[in-house]
């Protein structure tokens, strides 16, 4: 944890580097917490400081109520992050995190005239495209868990333990509700570059849906596809972190 910045329950600074030139804020997928980024810092450029976002309802915030709508979360995050945006920064978000980081970028730009040096979105189709999958957040527990199995994002050993499942379900339902009730509103394109990552075997998000992010910026856009399903950032982690590091090097 970084010592010369005030820590909050929302932010986990995983490394402190005196030569820091860029701060990378990372936003998790549905049900995920700051811990999914714990191994990244060692693989990032020496000039990059990693800051993972810990949302309510998971990790050390397990007992806190979750957000089930995106706009209140974005406004809260803006207030939390503002004191930490005094230097160049970038956003990364996977799946739900991509949606959060995108709307947060738009909000910061419109309300505070602040913009990240780069937006990295991963595992989520462009926000202006219609959602193709039916909503699942209101399904009965058994059906909801079946969908979680199909998505391969929750380990089977966890889904086989009813007590743990009951602890996790409120957070997962709230996260899915936030994504499934999201309503895109057209606005001016972003002024920062956007890099979009996708999985070649992702059955949830196609290459075309990932490529649709190119209309969300007036700055350069880059598409990168990796081997793997929706959670390629884990199954292809070494290759993914190599690609991310290359992009961060260019920024620095």
At 38-93, the pLDDT tens digits run 999 999 999 999 999 999 999 999 999 999 999 999 999 999 999 999 999 999 99
Distance between CA atoms of 86 and 90, rounded to whole angstroms? 12
The answer to whether 9 and 54 have CB atoms below 8 angstroms apart is yes
Mean pLDDT for the stretch of residues 140-167: 84
* Statement: residue 18 has pLDDT above 80: no
Mean pLDDT for the stretch of residues 127-146: 91
pTM to 2 decimal places: 0.93
The answer to whether 129 and 99 have CB atoms below 8 angstroms apart is no
Mean pLDDT for the stretch of residues 151-163: 78
Non-local CB neighbours of 206 within 8 Å, separated by 6+ positions: 125, 198
Strand order in the sheet with 221-226: 11-13, 48-53, 22-27, 89-94, 118-122, 194-199, 221-226
Catalytic member of 7, 9, 14, 95: 95
The answer to whether 11 and 51 have CB atoms below 8 angstroms apart is yes
Mean pLDDT for the stretch of residues 122-133: 94
Distance between CA atoms of 43 and 8, rounded to whole angstroms? 24
pLDDT at residue 16, rounded to an integer: 63
Hey, is 76 helix, strand or coil? helix
| Residue-range domain boundaries for the chain | 11-128+186-251
Ramachandran angles phi, psi of 194, nearest 5°: -130, 130
pLDDT at residue 161, rounded to an integer: 85
pLDDT greater at residue 131 or residue 192:
192
Distance between CA atoms of 95 and 31, rounded to whole angstroms? 11
Q: Is 101 a catalytic residue?
A: no
For the domain with range 11-128+186-251, which CATH number is right: 3.40.50.970, 3.90.1150.10, 3.30.420.40, 3.40.50.1820?
Answer: 3.40.50.1820
* Statement: residue 158 has pLDDT above 90: no
What average pLDDT is seen over the chain? 92
Mean pLDDT for the stretch of residues 191-202: 97
> Sorting pLDDT into bands at 50, 70 and 90, what band is 15?
low
- In 3D space, the residue among 91, 56, 48, 49 whose CA is nearest the CA of residue 73 turns out to be 56
Can you point out the beta strands (E) in the chain?
Answer: 11-13, 22-27, 48-53, 89-94, 118-122, 194-199, 221-226
pLDDT at residue 156, rounded to an integer: 76
Tens of pLDDT, residue by residue over 174-194, are: 999 999 999 999 999 999 999
């Amino acid at each position: 944890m970084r010592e010369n910045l005030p820590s909050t329950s929302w932010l986990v600074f995983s490394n402190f580097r005196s030569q820091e030139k860029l701060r990378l804020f990372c936003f998790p997928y549905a049900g995920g917490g700051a811990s999914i980024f714990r191994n990244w810092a060692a693989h990032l450029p020496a000039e990059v400081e990693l800051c993972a976002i810990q949302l309510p309802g998971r990790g050390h915030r397990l007992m806190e109520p979750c957000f089930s709508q995106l706009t209140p979360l974005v406004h809260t995050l803006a207030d939390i992050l503002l004191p930490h945006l005094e230097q160049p920064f970038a956003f990364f978000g996977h799946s739900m995190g991509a949606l959060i980081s995108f709307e947060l970028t738009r909000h910061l730009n419109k309300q505070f005239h602040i913009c990240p040096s780069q937006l990295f979105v991963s595992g989520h189709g462009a926000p202006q495209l219609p959602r193709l999958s039916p909503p699942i957040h209101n399904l009965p527990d058994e059906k909801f868990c079946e969908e979680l199995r199909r998505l391969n994002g929750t380990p089977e050993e966890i889904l086989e333990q009813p007590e743990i499942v009951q602890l996790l379900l409120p957070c997962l339902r709230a996260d899915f509700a936030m994504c499934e009730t999201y309503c895109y509103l057209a606005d001016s394109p972003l002024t920062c570059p956007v890099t979009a990552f996708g999985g070649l075997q992702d059955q949830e998000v196609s290459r075309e849906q990932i490529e649709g992010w190119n209309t969300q910026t007036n700055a350069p856009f880059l598409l990168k596809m990796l081997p793997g399903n929706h959670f390629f950032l884990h199954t292809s982690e070494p290759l993914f972190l190599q690609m991310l590091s290359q992009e961060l090097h260019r920024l620095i």
